[in-house]
Structure 1
């Protein structure tokens, strides 16, 4: 365990430097849009993040701790949680809220994500654990849960729009 601590501290130091660089870049971008957001971002202290892989369904205690950690991280950035309906469309509702300030456009967001998947098979097919056409047809159905692939497709599809918009909310 002693051997990994030096690499862990280097990794942690690197992540801290990365966080500061990201905060600086965001600060410069958002200061053009909103002075309050820019001031908040320039004074951020990095929040350490340890990625975890869910190998089991968390119990209530773990889920509560994870949620508290999320709320703390949002608070650091002056953001707040917005709850969306958990009807299988939640990923698309959340994306719709961030892109259009309303979750009511989730059907259109889902449609754009599916179009991204159909038009760019080579980018996503290796991550899909079934026949690709079956996957994107399934994802086109309302109520089908989004996953890491649809989230990446959304990021790719809306990258230009995301760069132009601020998804920070100044008031909760």
Structure 2
């Protein structure tokens, strides 16, 4: 509610300064965490190195599975996790799951998802020629929409994340005919691997080998799939 222009301006200024400080704090913490955990990259990749990846084609979300198909997809994903001995760090299904899962892989915490989203949107905005051909709408409208918290990430934002963070992003999926999708940076050699599970068009989680799962997430062994 507005109580007058003077009060509103003061509130906006204070909120802006607070927001800028939050962003700067997140950036500094993110850099430290990223460097600290970079040495752990690649462990999941070694576990499923026998899989042949499917080339990635960036696309936006247009079609979503029915409830019955979604349940079958989930069971298929659980079976694949079991076969390859992998553990999901489950992130909140609040519309930010792709960015939360990426945050957990980069910074070992899903709580930096706002920072990740901001960096991905900046990548889209600053390099529109790389991505606008995959988006069937005005590109400015697309990246403005994607900047909003709760907006679902898609395969275009995954490509932008791979490019922004110089990361090979690997998806263990629930697709019937596509188990493993690999997204590589367009114009640089990847310096890290990020592993996500993808319950197709429904949800992303962060993937680890069981022994590498963060301690505060790690369950008792006999319950790790549930």
Which of 134, 137, 142 is the matching residue for 1:130? 137
Q: Which residue number in structure 1 is paired with residue 8 of structure 2?
A: none
Residues matched between the structures, number: 135
Map of 1:40-59 to 2, 5 A cutoff? 40-41=47-48, 44=50, 46=51, 57-59=64-66
**Aligned CA distance change for structure 1 residues 141 and 47 (closer, same or farther; 3 Å):** same
Which one has a larger percent strand, Structure 1 or Structure 2? 2
More helix by proportion, 1 or 2? 1
RMSD of equivalent CA atoms: 3.4
Q: Which residue does the alignment assign to 2:25?
A: none
Q: Structure 1: which 5+ runs fail to align?
A: 1-31
Alignment partner of 1:170 out of 184, 209, 214: 209
Moved more, 76-85 or 66-75: 76-85
Residue 165 of structure 2 is aligned to residue 158 of structure 1: yes
Matches within 5 A, 1:10-159: 40-41=47-48, 44=50, 46=51, 57-159=64-166
Residue 33 to residue 88, structure 1, CA distance change in 2 (3 Å): closer
Unaligned runs of 5+ in 2: 1-38, 55-60, 169-189, 196-206, 211-217, 219-226
* TM-score using structure 2 length: 0.50
Pick 1 or 2: higher relative contact order, CA cutoff 8 A, min separation 6. Answer: 2
Cα distance in 1 for residues equivalent to 2:119 and 2:91: 20
- 3-state SS of 1:69 partner: helix
